[in-house]
Structure 1
Amino acid sequence: MPASAPEPETVGPDPTPGGPVPLIAPREGTPAPLETPAELADAVARFAAGTGPVALDAERASGYRYSQRAYLVQLRRAGAGTVLIDPLPLADLRSLDEAIAEAEWVLHAASQDLPCLAELGLRPRRLFDTELAARLAGFERVGLAALTEQLLGFTLEKHHSAADWSSRPLPESWLTYAALDVELLVELRDALAAELERQGKHEWAAEEFAALVRWGAQPPRQRADPWRRTSGIHRVRGARAQARVRSMWYARDAIAARRDSAPGRVLPDAAIIAAAELDPKDERTLLTLPGFGGRSVRRLARTWLEALNEARQLPDTALPVSPPVEGPPPPHRWAERDPVAAARLARCREVVTGIAAAHTLPPENLIAPDSVRRLAWTPPEEISIATVAEVLRGYGAREWQLALLVADLTAALAEPA
């Protein structure tokens, strides 16, 4: 933590003289996943009768499956215990959502799980994000295992975090791991809430959590031209070569969606880039390129060649064009394009860095870096505390952030060049 930061207090059980205690099994044992409507109805009744916050987590199969759906949902509540739910055989979990609608939901890194929970009909009205709370409180290590060890004196194993949770049946050790992710989540929430209260940041956290709830309630945004995110595309020069990337990306995506497989398991990004650069015309040449050596990839050689040929046949008018630039240019170009704006950005960044350090916050949690760039590139015509606040509020800044920043940012913007 920064030298000037107040050291977070350890709340909860003190670690034993021999060090933190390994947490190896849930206190009521590892439950079997619920799979039937009757089992779900019983869990709904238990959680409706429970008290206090509800701890939630979800396991996906990132890197294995095409979708980001949840393949296991874990919940725990006082008076209800822990349940594991297999959502695959169940239509949705809206009945559970209704049962816990009025409770505060406790998640760790909520932005990762809210979309897949929403697919199942689970949408929080109030939440507490333990990772975000730890960031606001100034902790350097904000992973669930690190926080549980530091604040509660227990260690968690995280060796199944990258497992293929879509596989069935799930091994007993995986189920234990999943249950332990919610075992102490409410206790961790209480420890972090006490720390935020001690530092005078509890209202800041409340605003951040409310913003997360609003974000989670919105439908996911579809990214324009997703093929442009192919790793290594910066090496591909020319519109025709970019058309080859686009054509192969969509061919791969269609196969991945049909198989419900992660696109990178169908064909690595590096293979798409290599083919786009060389533009092979025959199978023999294609299969000599990096990434095309696997048996499943070779079986699809005709598909890849057809995609390349499709790009080859496109008229010039159908080739990719650079997307319109939204917002300011990359900061490294500012000094050349607009030295005055570059100086404004430097002053604004200095303000953010200084205030973040004074309050033991990561600068990116004090204000989104993109908001600072946009403000510095295009400040309001009349620079005042009111106009700067209005601009930042339009970018999504919360009131606690404005209270800390606006006066100093206004002064930085108004400073003569």
Structure 2
Amino acid sequence: MTISADHTAPDQAQRLPAEDAASEAVRKFGITVEDYMLPARHQIQMVDQDGQLKAEGEQGTEPGHEYPLPADEELLAAYEQLVVGRRVNDQNSALVRQGRMAVYPSSHGQEACQVAAALCLSDGDWLFPTYRDAVAVMARGVDPVETMTIFRGDWHSGYDPARHKVGIQCTPLTTQLLHGVGVAHAAKLRGEDTVVLAMCGDGATSEGDFHEALNFAAVFHLPVVFFVQNNKYAISVPLAHQSVAPSLAHKAVGYGMAGERVDGNDVVALLAVLDRAVKLAREGSGPLLVEAHTYRMQAHTNADDATRYRQDSEVAEWLAKDPISRMKTYLTGRGLLDDDGAARIAAHAEDVATQLREGLGEDVPVDPQELFRHVFSVPTPQLKEQSAMLADELAREASSEESPK
């Protein structure tokens, strides 16, 4: 589907941005703008949990919501990133137990969302991840050890955001959406061909920053794809206690943007939906909201006990929807993946795990004076005093260690 582009500022006295985005769908199918903005009645799914491609009429698509099958090369690249992501999630959980990482919010079970978010973007686009999106950061091309640096307690993020076009993984809930909207606004003012994909979870949709980010992006007609990973829980709070909307994708309509919901464990559907969302945003259709239905198989972090708020039977139900086994079955059935190819991908994933073990196993030199260097561009008198006190204390300690006993 080709959507007309409109790079002019929104004018409330004329057409709404959503009307321009939906114009061809309206002409082609005779639907209303409101119908175009609403998500499909059923989540978009292209490959079922048994790894079988659904027939075109079974995909739950409706007029204005058709999605072509992604290219074979894109699907194979996605599968490799899925396998690497799963191995990284499991390796990081082990590193936490070994004391090499302070904390790790695993995305085990959500890897399809992570991978699709990274692969749908061009080199000049920006990704703004949450604290749980380390696999997406890696799939974007960031070094694995640099990606995980933040989780072992280092004071900096570990990677250069400007070089990789990847924002810092945000621990504060939802702040990354505002950062992403700001980058998109700047890119539009400069006339740059940049799309921003900003990720968040279902709990983030209850935050004020979520409202501010979506409203600003819609009013200023910005090229942002808001990607909500709905894994059913905001830590321990179930979705039913967060929102009574028909879906989180329906929230988009209130801001004047289109929304869509997709099976978050179907990487084929995720790539199709996000590829199209990025394309529309790049063509000038304004922001879009995509909700992915997925599940985190493990606890919120290593400090959480998930058995307090969810049942084993629920976890088992989602285990059968695993995105990796589903994708492997699909690719094997199509003759795109054989035993040799699967072995090569598994070996690559093991190499990444080894790189993480070795990189995070190295002791990092600690300079206590860094506590004071980056608070203000010009240190305050109090900081100078505290720095001098610490320097004196460290010097006396070093002197006492060197003195003969």
> What TM bracket, shorter-length normalisation?
under 0.3
TM-score, scaled relative to structure 1: 0.25
Structure number with bigger Rg: 1
